[in-house]
Chain A
Amino acid sequence: MTELPIDRALTQGRIPDRTPEAVPELHEVDCPQGLREQIETLMDKYPDRHSVSIPALWAVQRLYGWCTPEGIRQAAAVMRVTPAYLESVASFYDLLHTESVGSHKVAVCTNISCWMRGGDELLEAFRTAAEGKEGNVFVSGFECLGACDIAPMASIDERYFGPLEADEAAAAIEQLLAGEEVLPEKALERRPLAGDRDG
């Protein structure tokens, strides 16, 4: 196959200047033992090994913080698929990051119910609070997270908190970076059923 020139300006440098890679061999990728075992255990659970693509990418992301090209190659080698196949899957889903993000993730819901209750202001407050700490906290607006009962809300390192006031954002970021429990009073986990709440 002839190599097609890739216009780097058009692709913003994201597409490597080479033809798509074949299925990498395990010895070519230096896959950490733990990651390999995790993916192999997953493959035993499904009738078809392709089914583990999302769980395998989750494992890569947990290990490296995001779906790094190297991590994707490692998973691809274990799964016996091409890296491009896993990249196509990773780029489809909002929670799988194909670029480096912070070690902590804050997703603020901005969909209708949260928007009506101040979701935009909350997102702004989190952005301001995380400013200058960019490398550590990745703040993003997000579509409905399925917690309109605690609107406006945020998912902080994959746990739900709400209803939040904009002025609680700074405290939440501080607690997060200090490794403390974040806004314990606002954790969804501790909230009783709506009908059992007082007032």
Chain B
Amino acid sequence: MAETRVLLKHAEDPQLRTLAGYKRHGGYQTLEKAYREMEAEEILKELEDSGLRGRGGAGFSMGKKASFLPRGEMAKYLCCNADESEPGAFKDRELMQRNPHQLIEGIAIAAIAADAGHAFIFIRGEYDAQADILDAAVAEAYEAGYLGEDILGSRRDLELVVHRGAGAYICGEETALLDALEGKRGNPRLKPPFPAVQGLYGGPTLINNVETLSNVPRIVAHGAEWFRGYGTEQSPGTKVVSVSGCVRRPGNYEVELGVPTRELIYDLAGGPLDGREVKAFYPGGSSSPVLTAEDLDLPYTFEDMAEAGSMLGSGSIVVADDSVSIPLMALRTARFYHHESCGKCTPCREGTNWTVKMLERVVRGEATPMDLDIISSVQDNIMGHCLCVLGDSMAMPVSAMVKKFRGEFEAVIDSAQAVAA
């Protein structure tokens, strides 16, 4: 199976990250057209009609989100969420590293639709190399007149700032991102009001993921119908999928949404290592409920993953083969969310803590059979009970693992021996 490279087109060209290289491949033509000839409504309509769904995790229609921003004279903002921190996800890193101008062009065009005069790229602090690349690209774009005041004589202004985070998974949550960007500890906010109405500095704010915004130039250039020519009815377009874990060729592969998951794992990523078999996989980052080998033939779409009780999330597949202990994997997953919980909501702060403690008991061989039910009930009491979904992000995969691999957990408990690491 071959990739369908749209976002990663020409990504093999090391010059693509420069303005000259990007323009050689046709870059910034759409921005020029948009700023010279297009109205906000036109762009908004194209984005809505395209059916582009957010690539950061929630999968919400980008055009619809942009349409929620109120009209009228007020300071509005656009934030690009580049805080890619979900375990298993590394596609935004690739997109920013290889094609930063595609993202900048997308931001500049989306800013017309959102009527935003100020935009920010909130990039996780660990991505220092990528932030440097973005800084250089933004400087080039200013120099060329694609950013700044009165862009191409359109009387539209756009300031774009690359803002580095400092290491906190929670800042990928959009309201926590806003708090961090306002210079506070990254705690999520109560919703509503949603950021589209009251976001950064209290103003209407459009927040989109790197990959979502990177799709904008081509959608506006070729039209919604062209975009819908890829993917499925409910999941149009291509997707850069991060495949990692127990596979031969881990990496980012761009495919049309709707390809069989098996082909992603076996054809593109080379399948499991020698003599191994796929035991389980997270289809959408470590917060997605794990699926098993039986689910390998599901089309890789938002709707099919949801129907299977999981989610496509950020489009990050992590494969566990038959050598991986599921209780250890559950503990590793839970520890991450425990570490990253901001501590604001009790169910998440306490629930992640107790889940880690109980799973540690399981893998040490010190648990009793009733502990599994307690673990499950703790997960049930986290889900839907917090300001944001960080707690759910642990509860969903952990409860799925306990449910689908209960026998393996029970075998560990029965053996009363620690799991070999």
Chain A residues close to B by CB (< 8 Å): 45-48, 50-55, 57-58, 88-89, 92-96, 107, 110-113, 115-117, 120, 143-151, 155, 158-160, 188-189, 192-197
Contact = CB atoms under 8 A, between A and B. Distances in A.
Interface string B332-366: 11001001101000000000000000000000000
A193 B251 contact: yes
B176 to A, nearest CB: 10
B125 interface: yes
A143 B128 contact: no
B183 interface: yes
Interface stretch (B143-151, B228-236, B240-248, B297-305): B240-248
Contacts of A196: 12
A146 B250 contact: no
Given A46-B161, A89-B183, A143-B169, A194 B249 contact: yes
B87 A48 contact: no
A54 B180 contact: yes
A65 to B, nearest CB: 15
A159 B183 contact: no
A116 B85 CA distance: 18
B126 interface: yes
A42 to B, nearest CB: 9
B88 interface: yes
A113 B42 CA distance: 43
A53 B329 CA distance: 36
B52 interface: no
Q: Give 5 nearest A-B pairs by CB, closest first.
A: A194-B251, A94-B167, A148-B244, A93-B166, A95-B167
B201 interface: yes
Given A146-B126, A148-B88, 10 more contacts: A45-B159, A51-B163, A89-B184, A93-B166, A112-B336, A113-B318, A148-B318, A149-B252, A159-B129, A193-B8
Contact of A146 (B89, B159, B320, B339): B89
Contacts of A95: 125-126, 166-167
Contact of A113 (B128, B165, B250, B340): B250
Given A94-B167, A144-B86, A149 B251 contact: yes
Contacts of B242: 148-149
B22 interface: no
B94 interface: yes
B81 to A, nearest CB: 13
A144 B164 contact: no
Given A47-B118, A54-B180, A93-B125, A149 B90 contact: yes
Q: What band does the interface of chain B fall in when counting residues whose beta carbon is under 8 Å from A?
A: 35 or more
Contacts of B89: 144, 146, 148
A98 to B, nearest CB: 12
B164 A54 contact: yes
A189 B129 contact: yes
Given A57-B166, A148-B250, A192 B87 contact: no
Interface in B236-286: 242, 244-246, 249-253, 268-269, 282, 286
B385 interface: no
Contacts of B282: 112
Given A58-B164, A146-B84, A148-B88, A52 B183 contact: yes
A62 to B, nearest CB: 11
Contact of A144 (B8, B87, B182): B87
B165 A116 contact: no
B289 to A, nearest CB: 14
Given A54-B163, A93-B165, A112 B88 contact: yes
B403 interface: no
Contacts of A146: 84-85, 89-90, 92-93, 124, 126-127
Interface centre among A51, A52, A53 (most CB of B within 10 A): A51
B324 interface: yes
B167 to A, nearest CB: 3
Interface string B298-338: 00000000000000000010101000100001001100100
Given A53-B183, A112-B333, A48 B249 contact: no
Contacts of A88: 185
B332 A111 contact: yes
Contacts of B182: 48, 50-51
Contacts of B166: 54, 57-58, 93-96
A171 to B, nearest CB: 21
B134 interface: no
